Amino acid sequence: EDLIEDDETPVRWFRANRVKTTAAKVVEELSHLRQVFSIEDIEKGTIYHDEYVTDLFGIHPREDLVSTRLYKAGEVIIQDRASCFPAFILNPQPGKDLIIDSCAAPGNKTTHLAAILRNSPESVIAFEKNKERAKVLEKMCDKAGGLGCIRVQQGDFTATNPEEYPQVTGLLVDPSCSGSGIFGRAFEENDAQEYTEERLKKLASFQASIMKHAMKFPNARKIVYSTCSIHAQENEQVVVDLLLDKAVQKQGWRVCNRKDVIPSWPRRGLVEEFSAMENPEACAEGCIRTMPKVEGGIGFFAIWGLDGVLLEVGID
């Protein structure tokens, strides 16, 4: 923890785990902390209730959270704001939606889905290809109290037959990526060779293949795509690749409008990356980018919806 420079993580983010508690109860238990209303005002002894993601809080990194009862009981879960965006944007409804988390371990977003779904029984199927990571995922879901809601499925998501999942209404696609956004890794010279054009191309094609599979689920209406990469190759360019794909067009998938994707969030996709599209601005506006420091971690997010389907996104 001490290796992380303070100026890189001016905020420690955590969310009230709605499977086990409520935001109000968490605030009450942390009532020794003074509430502040801007991230810039966070210092030791204060707490900030996020304006974008419901149930999310920020405190000073030197504030002790890990040894509190709340943390040990799994009533709060430490998770960067950027990592909270996908499940929040997907906004599944308890008792109505069945969600596939296609690339789930270690399970931050899976357990967040369970919280948003208020632990509604059997509402999330969480795929994880890697055996060891699937065990970690199971453990995390258990600690969060979400195993009544989440079914962990060890295996390759792309090997599933979508026709066998007619009840699935939404998917979260958070595939392996270069991770170039994690604490500015890409900016460190020694790591530059990790981000060769060839490697990024391979990753992008893998990411698009997971998305294309997700788009085959017959009754899916929403899909959130996310990475923790800063590279357009894995972000906007994957979106363009999908938008230009004939099969995807035939299925009717489109990138949603800004109004569906946290409209008040200022940093959107890179417009110049959509120059091949008819309306580059609209495409870019439908995507979100986040940066470290006060923005709460790096990420890229795009929500896809079916033509003509009205989305209620991020309303909790």
The DSSP code sequence of 30-86 is: TTTSEEESSGGG--TTEEEE-SSSTTEEEE-TTS--TTSHHHHTTSEEE--HHHHHH
Handedness of CA 99, 101, 107, 108 (dihedral sign): negative
Residues 6+ apart with CB under 8 A from 219: 166, 167, 168, 169
Q: Least distance to ligand SAM from the beta carbon of 131, Å? A: 10
Q: How far is CA 191 from the centre of its chain?
A: 25
- Of 49-57, 107-115, 215-223, 264-272: span binding ligand SAM (CB under 6 A): 107-115
Catalytic residue among 228, 256, 283, 287: 228
Q: Are 42 and 36 in contact (CB under 8 A)?
A: yes
Give the separation between CA 282 and CA 257, rounded to whole angstroms: 7
Is residue 287 part of the annotated active site? The answer reads no
Contacts to ligand SAM from residues 132-151, by CB under 6 A: 133
Q: Is residue 130 a contact point for ligand SAM (CB under 6 A)?
A: yes
Q: Which of 107, 286, 292, 305 binds ligand SAM (CB under 6 A)?
A: 107
Q: How many residues bind ligand SAM (CB under 6 A)?
A: 19
Q: Which of 13, 14, 57, 127 binds ligand SAM (CB under 6 A)?
A: 127
Q: Is residue 108 a contact point for ligand SAM (CB under 6 A)?
A: yes
Q: Which of 104, 125, 224, 239 binds ligand SAM (CB under 6 A)?
A: 104
Residue 50 identity:
D
Which residue has 């794909």 as its token pair? 245
Contacts to ligand SAM from residues 68-87, by CB under 6 A: 83
Contacting positions for ligand SAM (CB under 6 A): 83, 103-109, 127-130, 133, 156-158, 174-176
Would you please indicate which residues are annotated as catalytic (active-site) residues?
228
